[in-house]
Amino acid sequence: MRPVFHWNLGSRSLELGKRTLIMGVVNVTPDSFSDGGLYLDRDQAIEQAERLLDEGADILDIGGESTRPGARVAPEVTTRREGHEFGVKPALSDRERSERESKGAAMRPKESSALAPEVSYPTVTAEEELRRVLPVITELKKKHPAAVLSVDTYKAAVARAAVNAGAEIVNDVSGFRWDPQMAKTVADLKCGAVLMHMRGRPEEWRTLPPPGDIVLLVKRELKEWAEKAVLAGVRRERIVLDPGFGFGKNFDENYPLLARFSELQAAGFPLLAGTSRKSFIGRTLATLSRNGDGVDAPPEARLYGTLATQVALILKGVHILRTHDVKPALEAARVADAILQAR
């Protein structure tokens, strides 16, 4: 049975573990891998968010910048040596640790469908990101005051403005590592936080060295980052961890992470996972192509594969599923929850 937590969001808390919560994705971006450009207009984004609420979403995660493969993060909020953001000097950076763990190993081969394409996308400034997400958050909070809103950002300035506008969760794909002010900002805001694991940055994914045991690496680093956030003032009961499926992890690394997901419970925090329409699912489904061309299934054809991973995650202890397809995920979760409760 998965452990039960009460996730403190400041003015209220969410019970995690009795049932699986569903976080619906609203991308107010032109270039997200799955739905980029579909909801860039404010009214379209709000309409999509309301649709997800009607389908049963417990949380809405609103993002204004893509972190798809090849995307470039905004340079003004990153630091050369990751880890100093928390005010705690690390022994090694992520890159240095990975290189040391894989010393003597050959660089992995390029895989066009599992790793980042050889393209990059312009960085998004905090001002542009706020221009995209703030009107959506403000209007949703006005129309649906009880809705739980999350902002998907790694920039402290965006996090602060979004929470002041009504968001209650900051979902940071960098695990609080890219913006030196993020941990302190979240501590001051007294909101919920999701710390996601990512190896390297999106523009580096093609050249990352093999990680060794990916599950042990993710478990160790997530716990380290969470403890650093606590030292920076973020209360432990406000933190949820996400192993970051597909973020700096190739086809051969995502499945062990999925199969051994329950090992992440040892970190001592609630767990969130997002496998929705990810490329490792598309690659698996490519073998089912009628013409045998081996082309990965496109994002819109990955629903059933996504559901398979989501059920597996629930049975292995996930608390929150982040998904583009709320209604199917919710129905699958209810059945998987019933299986858990019958044990």
Which residue's entry shows tokens 């956030």? 229
pLDDT tens, position by position, 270-312: 999 999 999 999 999 986 656 556 788 889 999 999 999 999 9
How far apart are the C-alpha atoms of 301 and 92, rounded to whole Å? 41
pLDDT value at 118 more than 50: no
Which one from 177, 206, 228, 278 is the annotated catalytic residue?
A: 278
Cβ(180)–Cβ(159) under 8 Å?
Answer: no
pLDDT digits (tens, 9 = 90+) for 201-229: 888 888 888 889 999 999 999 999 999 99
pLDDT computed for residue 290 by the predictor: 61
**DSSP letter assigned to residue 118:** S
pTM summary value: 0.84
pLDDT of residue 73: 59
Domain 5-274+319-324, second-level architecture: Alpha-Beta Barrel (3.20)
Better-scored residue on pLDDT, 96 or 71? 71
Domain ranges of the chain: 5-274+319-324
Q: Is the pLDDT of residue 333 over 80?
A: yes
Q: Are 218 and 264 in contact (CB under 8 A)?
A: yes
Question: Is-catalytic flag, 278?
Answer: yes
Query: For the residues 259-268, what does the mean pLDDT come to?
Result: 97
Count the Cβ atoms, other than its own, within 10 Å of residue 72. 15
Kindly list the strands in the beta sheet with 21-27, ordered across the sheet, starting from the edge strand earlier in the chain.
239-242, 192-196, 169-172, 148-152, 59-63, 21-27, 320-323, 272-273
Q: Of the listed 160, 177, 228, 322, which one is catalytic?
A: 322
